[in-house]
Amino acid sequence: MPAYAPPADDPVLAERALVLAAQAGDARAFAGLVRLHQRRAYAVARAIVLTHEDAEDATQEGFLHAYRALDRFRPEQAFGAWLHRIVANAALDIARRRKVRDADELPETVASPRPQRDPAESLELRTRLRAGLDALSARQRSVIVLHDVEGFKHAEIGAMLGIPEGTARSDLHHARAALRRQLGELRGDL
């Protein structure tokens, strides 16, 4: 039986109760935190790295780092934001290591074809999109996916990646411009 009694009607208090219990050594409480945040943590990691496998590794590393650093977490902070920053840093580390070893190609799921499109057009779009995303820095790729796909705000992205909000805005602007250049000629062809 867990040593905590999380309030069912207030998710913030429930999360805080899990954090305090986990800090007191309750492994089941930390498992509860993992269940609570694993999907969003994976989404953060996946926005940064190129493969599902790397995202899973980054998520696992992030949770491991969070567990080891749990004694340094202050319960008045938002656990999710703290955790997502750790996961984002783990993903950036993996992306840097991957870049050194010549990163694998983006999976086919990055640009899923629309059913009414000619398969050749979809292949061309995926190829251009892969090339465009691959040409971005890991941070720019992270910012564009976190903002445009995952729906995070600039301030949240800045907190996750450990950069100022203005830098997140600037990275998003430059990443979009680079993708527009990469995909620009394709628009007229489709």
Q: What is the pLDDT of residue 113?
A: 45
Same domain, 30 and 98: yes
Same domain, 95 and 130: no
Whole domain around residue 92: which residue ranges?
1-104
Let me know: does 81 contact 156? Beta carbons within 8 Å.
yes
* Integer Cα distance of 33 and 70 in angstroms: 11
Same domain, 99 and 118: no
**Domains in the chain: how many in total?**
2
pLDDT tens sequence across 32-88: 999 999 999 999 998 888 889 999 999 999 999 999 999 999 878 889 889 999 999
Assign 112 a pLDDT band (cuts: 50, 70, 90).
very low
The CATH number of whichever domain residue 29 belongs to comes to 1.10.1740.10
Lowest average pLDDT, out of 45-49, 96-100, 124-128, 175-179, goes to 96-100
